[in-house]
Structure 1
Amino acid sequence: MIGYVLVGTADLNRSGEFYDALLGTIGVTRFMEEADYFIAWAKSPGECSFGVTLPFDKKPASVGNGTMVAIALETPEQVNAFYNKALELGGTCEGKPGFRPENATSGFYAGYFRDLDGNKLNAFCMVEA
Structure 2
Amino acid sequence: MKSGLRDTLLALQAETRLITDKDNEMIGYTTVGTNNMGQATAFYDAILKKAGAIRVFDTERFVAWGRGKGAPAFGVIKPFDNKPATVGNGVMMALALASKASVDALHAKALELGAENEGEPGVRQGGFYCAYFRDLDGNKLNLFCQN
* Range into which the TM-score falls when normalised by the shorter chain: 0.3 to 0.5
Report the structure number with the largest CA radius of gyration.
2
Write 1 or 2 for the structure with the bigger share of helix. 2
**TM-score, length of structure 1 as denominator length:** 0.48
Write 1 or 2 for the structure with the bigger share of strand. 1
